[in-house]
Amino acid sequence: MSDVKKIKSNDEVMKKTVFQLSVPIFFSAFLSIMLGNVDTIMLSNYSETAVGAIGNANTIIGFLSLAFSVISSATGIVVSQYLGAEKKEEMNRIYTVAVGFNLILSGVISLVVFLFSEPLLLAMQVPPEMIPDATAYMQIVGGTIFTQALLNALTQIFASNGKTTFTVIISTGMNIINIAGNWLFLYGPLQAFGLGASGVAVSTCISRIIAVAAAFIYLYTVLNGRIGIRYLIPFPGKILKQLLGLGIPTAGENISYNFSQLVIAALINTMGIAAINAKIYANMLSMFNYMLAFSAATGTQILVGHSIGAGDDSFAYNRVMKTLRITLPISISVAALNWIIAPLTFSIFSKDPNVISLGQTVMLVSVFLELGRTTNIVIINSMKAAGDVKFPTILAIFSMWGISVLFAYVLGVLLGMGLLGVWIGMAADEILRGIIVYIRWKKGSWKGKGVIIKDE
């Protein structure tokens, strides 16, 4: 697949294909997931209590981290559009505002987590025996959460400049350092200190600190970017307004999604251990499909942002349609294969025939769910890249709660369909949103909403 440069600019990113941009994003996403799970995996042979403690701690940290996704999610869009419009003189101002805002906000969150970690854990009804490990982990990892906020902003900057490969290098390095540190504290020479979960937290923090340092070096040497107080004089209020205008709706959607998933998880928890485990394994087996769609959507989003900045709506429209034509058949085929081999894959994780039967049933529904989800991810990411952020956010909130959660309760609980009813509700949500955003993209209602176009 070749994306020949179709817009009249010197934009180097537009010379790249979606494939070139998406492959590194795919591996970076995979490695990020591994970083989040490796602590739990390595602790599983060390202490069951520590595993539960870290799981609960990460739940709180993850939710609080949504706050600094406000700017991170918008940074890539604004950078792409400014680069596409050849307004490179504004780059250092954008970099400084994005990194500075994330640093201040995440600094406040770090302080809150450090000071109130135990009350937060008690509010979640964490078992008393897990409190010491969970508190120690939260104070160390959560207390230095600003490193993750900085890394999020910087990787968005790199991706928008077409430097997606470097994010893979960063993620790989973080995983290697984290695994090595975990081994040293849990099973190696440093186990004599008896730090346990605290040692795991320390290695996680060290890996992030080194990654942030490498990211800043890359920003300064390769992108020739700069961050400093001088770029805030006079204060670039317009840029901050653009970042907040794009970021707040997106963050609102993420918060709504996380809440809706918590409610759905609570419903599934009432359906028995077989339903709970089948849901966990089904989500895990569907992760490849999600990462595939996410990677293609992010690569497309970068190109759409640049083309919108350059004023080429036609390229943006055709690029999205081409991505859909390629990713939809792949996504559906993978989902269908997951359904066909479900008896085998689920039996690897569980010997319970109820889990295996439930798993095969929901994987059939997942074929239709992936049809809607892939369409959503590709088009909605591109709508946001074009500056059309309010419509998909409002649509998502109404659909998540009015269809996904409501149907999960009605079908899954009231009508007794169990996990199958929950999956049907989630599929209906994805399919309906997919149809609506597809029609909106075809109609061109997203045009004229770019930050550069509105300024001019």
Q: Give the relative orientation of helices 353-385 and 342-349 as an angle to the nearest 10 degrees.
A: 110
Q: Are residues 308 and 231 in the same domain?
A: no
User: In percent, how much of the chain has pLDDT > 90?
Assistant: 38
Q: What's the confidence (pLDDT) of residue 7?
A: 39
Q: Are residues 84 and 231 in the same domain?
A: yes
Where among 209, 235, 261 does a domain terminate?
Answer: 235
Report the 10 Å Cβ neighbour count for 406.
Answer: 14
Q: Are residues 99 and 147 in the same domain?
A: yes
Residue 215: domain span: 15-235
Q: Are residues 281 and 140 in the same domain?
A: no
Q: Are residues 82 and 228 in the same domain?
A: yes
Q: Are residues 136 and 283 in the same domain?
A: no
Q: Are residues 76 and 131 in the same domain?
A: yes
For 229-242, write each residue's pLDDT tens digit. Answer: 999 988 888 888 88
Q: Provide the number of structural domains found in the chain.
A: 2
Q: What's the confidence (pLDDT) of residue 88?
A: 78
Please indicate, yes or no, if residue 21 is contained in any of the structural domains: yes
For 296-325, write each residue's pLDDT tens digit. Answer: 999 999 999 889 888 889 999 999 999 999
Please indicate, yes or no, if residue 430 is contained in any of the structural domains: yes
For 16-34, write each residue's pLDDT tens digit. Answer: 788 888 888 888 888 777 7
Q: Are residues 125 and 147 in the same domain?
A: yes
**Top mean-pLDDT range of 32-46, 48-62, 66-80:** 66-80
- pLDDT averaged over every residue in the chain: 86
Using an 8 Å Cβ cutoff, are 367 and 339 in contact?
yes
Q: Are residues 230 and 316 in the same domain?
A: no
Please indicate, yes or no, if residue 10 is contained in any of the structural domains: no
Please indicate, yes or no, if residue 244 is contained in any of the structural domains: no
Q: What's the confidence (pLDDT) of residue 256?
A: 84
**CA of 183: how far to CAs of 35, 52, 109, 200, 374, in Å?**
14, 19, 29, 9, 38
Q: Are residues 42 and 121 in the same domain?
A: yes
Please indicate, yes or no, if residue 241 is contained in any of the structural domains: no
For 140-153, write each residue's pLDDT tens digit. Answer: 988 888 998 999 89
Q: What's the confidence (pLDDT) of residue 44?
A: 62
Q: Are residues 384 and 270 in the same domain?
A: yes
Distance from C-alpha of 94 to C-alpha of 96, rounded to nearest angstrom: 5
Q: Are residues 224 and 257 in the same domain?
A: no
